[in-house]
Each structure stands twice: as structure tokens, then as C-alpha cells.
Amino acid sequence: MENLEGLNRAVEEVTENFARIQTTLSPYTAMSDFLKSIQFPSPTSTITKIAESVSPRAQLTVLSQAAAAMQREHLLIAKLAIDPRFSDDISNQLNQLRAVNERITEPYRAIHDQLQLQSTAFDRLSAQALALNSVSCDVAQFSRSQLAWNVTSIGLANRMVDIGLFSQREQLSSRLFGLPNAYGEFVRVTTERLAADPSPDIAARLRGSLNLAEQQLLGIADAVSNFIAVPDDNDEPGDARILDAPFDQQNELLGSPSIVGEFDVESMTIASTTAQTAQRGRRVLELVTLCNEAGKTSESGVEIFKPTTRLMIAFNDLPWLSPTDRWRFADVVDCLYFIFYEGAGRDNLRFLEEHGGPLSKADCDLIWCIKHLRNKWSRHDADHGKDKDIQKSWTELAAKFRWLGLAEHPTDAHHFQQLHLQLLVLAEIFLAKILNKLRLKH
């Protein structure tokens, strides 16, 4: 009787946590719909029922349900004193589900390896989280982080299967897992910092940074899922970029003189310049998608920003880039270049009036700025050509820096943060201008 009462109490707690996650996910359509598809089991249901429902043609939606169920069972096991035989039975069922996971993703070796690597990492972290002082990090909070990773990685995989990206471009699909992988590493490092038993104030800020990164992850993944497609080109994905915005905003929160609530994401964003940049980056992604939709219903009838290989990778990386020097800033410029210049038609820019678009060349100062930064500074040297041409390139570069709000040549981390944020602000304005000038077809 006591065990049954304990089980019911645990189920109630997990249900409350699940409801909290649903509230967090509600602004993000794709992620919210995905979570709603997961049915919370009654105390008498078991993982076996899900495993038995898996057929040879099962899609990854079944895997997502299994992953969520596995997490709930882990919570129940952690909270209750369970008969060893029952615990062994649950372990066997979890092993069966992992086998189902591997069978579904086996044809896609690169993706399978990505999911397996992160799943193993979270298994190790689960044990560590259980051992933490409850003041530092409780099981419920860690479970939210784990579920956020499940929702994004498995939801993204499911989307790739639906559109055929998995089967046609496996290496590109694998590369697009950079976002949940970066999040998994951030959770690992933060959990280790919490395990070091910091002061209550530091622990609260660390937990706050987890909550902030979790919400960012869900929003960015939602935007990426809504945009990705099978590209027309066959370009190979380039080297992975460093997505360390969660670490930088964590450090900014730790150094902030003000103390904000660890669930107050809005206040934490105000306290962190990096978080503001991540928010702007995600908004750019959303506006790009809106411009494509508006382009299809406009008189030209075409999407403006084609999802090429390099554009989709840039789309995935942009919000969590955090440049502190010239070379890291070059990654930001690359992403903006692939989205706004190469992805929009390169020498035949689809947003220009002369190519059926709504904008004049005078509306496109941002595009010429991005192009000049890349061609004359971040990726190429201005010191080429005749002396007169070289001097002109440097003069134009100085004008671009002034236009972006600098009064001196960029040399330190603050300069590159300022350039990054201002480029994203101008990108929002540019995309809003496209939306305002597009007219519906008759």
C-alpha cells in the first residue's frame, strides 16, 4: 500500500514537471506539437506496451515516445524504493527500447552515432545529477534538460526522415545535429560545476543558465525544423563551427551585479549581451522563413532564400555563435553571407527589383556591407591589387565599421560583440523591409 501511494505521488510530481515543460514549449509550434503527441502513461502502464507497438516500418515518432517514457521511468525509479526484481524488469525493458532505437536509426550510421553518443552522455549525467545536493540541482531540473535534448534531436531526426534528407544527404543531416550536441556539452559542463557544491547564489545562476539555454534550444530547433529541405546542390558540409553562446551567457550571468530569478528568462536575457544576440539570431531565422512564405504568395511566386547546403548549416549555427575575435567573427560573416547573398541568388539576388524582387539597390546596404566584410577583411585580405585599389578597400572597410557603430578599428571582444549584435539588428530591419514591400499575387 505504501509503495502504491509513493508511486502515485511520484507520478503526480512527474506530471507537474511535464506540464511545466509543455508551458515552456508552447511558443514553439513544431516542438509543442511534438510534445503533445507524447501521451503520459498511467501508473499501471509500462514501457513494454510501447515496445510491442513498434513495427518494422516504425518511424522516429515511436522512438520519441519511447525516449520520453524511458525518462519518466528513470524518474520513478529514482524516487521510489523498488523491489530489485521490478527494477531488473524495467532495466530489461529499457535495453529493449535502446535496441529499437538502434534498429530504426541503423541505416543512417552518422545520425545513429550522433544520437548514441549523446544518449550515452546523458545516461552518465543522470547518475551524477541524482548524486547532487538538492540545493544545487534536482532530478526534475535535469530531466527537463534531458527532455529538451530528446525533443530537439529526435524531433529534428523525425523531420529529416519525413522530407527525405536522411536518406539522400546523411552527412549534411549529421552536421545539422550540431545544435543539440552543443547543448549536451553545455549541460555536461554545467552539471559538473553544480556538482562542485557552489554557493547558493552561484548555483542559482548556473541553474538559470540551464533554463535559458533550454528555451533557446527549443526555439532555434523549431525555426530550423521549419526551414530545412533537401538542397539542390551536392556540396559537402564544412567543418563544425564552435557554438559556445550558452557558455558565454552563463559567464555573463555569473558576473552580473543583479540577481534574477532562475526561471525568469526575460530578465536573464536583459542581463546577458550574448543572450540578446542569440535572441536576435533566432528572430532572423524566423523572418527568413516568413520572407520565403511571403515570396511564394507574391507576384514573383518564388522563395527568396533557397535552402542550399551552406545556407542550412548557417541557419543552424547563427544564433549560438559568440565571436570574441576576428577569426570567430568571420564565422558570423560567413553565415550572413551564405544566407543573404549566396542563398538569395548571388549575382542574381532575388530580393532586387531587377530580378523580380521588392527592393532597390539603395535598400540593400546591409548586403553590400556583409559582402565587403567577407571579401576584404574576414576571409580575404584587402591588400591585393594596385595601391589605389588597396587604399580604396581600406577606406570602404572603415566606412562599414562606422556604419556598424564603431569609432575605432575592432580589436577586442567587446568590439566583435557590438559588430555581431548590430549586424543582426540590421538583418531584422532588412527582412522586415522585404515583408513590408511584397505584395500578394492577383
Amino acid in the structure at residue 91: S
The amino acid at 296: K
Q: What is the pLDDT of residue 62?
A: 42
User: What digits encode the pLDDT tens for the residues 422-442?
Assistant: 999 999 999 999 999 998 987
Q: What percent of the chain has pLDDT over 70?
A: 66
Mean pLDDT of 315-328: 95
End-to-end CA distance of the chain: 70
Mean pLDDT, residues 113-139: 57
Tell me the sheet residues that pair with 359: 352
Where are the chain's structural domains? 289-442
Q: What is the pLDDT of residues 36-54, one digit of tens each?
A: 544 434 433 433 333 333 3
Burial of 435 (0-12, 13-18, 19+ CB in 10 A): middle
Of the pLDDT bands very low, low, confident and very high (cuts 50, 70, 90), residue 152 is confident
Element containing residue 69 per DSSP (H, E): helix 60-79
pLDDT band (50, 70, 90) for residue 141: low
Segment among 50-54, 74-78, 374-378 with least mean pLDDT? 50-54
Q: 261 with 267: CB under 8 angstroms?
A: yes
Question: By mean pLDDT, which of 51-55, 91-95, 131-135, 300-304 is the weakest?
Answer: 51-55
Distance of CA 355 to the CA centre of its chain: 33
- Secondary structure of residue 440 in the 3-state scheme: strand
Mean pLDDT score, 141-160:
76
Measured CA to CA, the distance from residue 231 to residue 350 in angstroms comes to 17
Angle at the Cα of 83 from the Cα atoms of 78 and 87, rounded to 5 degrees: 55
pLDDT for the residue 16: 60
5 band by pLDDT with thresholds 50, 70 and 90: low
* Residue closest to 18 by CA, chosen among 115, 148, 113: 148
Which of 253, 297, 296 lies closest to 274 in space, CA to CA? 253
What is the DSSP secondary structure assignment for residue 289, as one 8-state letter? Answer: H
Whole-prediction pTM value?
Answer: 0.77
Angle ∠(390,379,350) on CA atoms, nearest 5: 95
Q: Are 173 and 160 in contact (CB under 8 A)?
A: yes
Closest CA to 174 of 332, 309, 337: 309
CA pair distance 364, 349, nearest whole angstrom: 11
Residues sharing a CB contact under 8 Å with residue 417, sequence separation 6 or more, in sequence order: 273, 274, 277, 323, 324
Comparing 331 with 10, the larger pLDDT belongs to 331
Q: Is the pLDDT of residue 279 over 70?
A: yes
- 358 pLDDT more than 70: yes
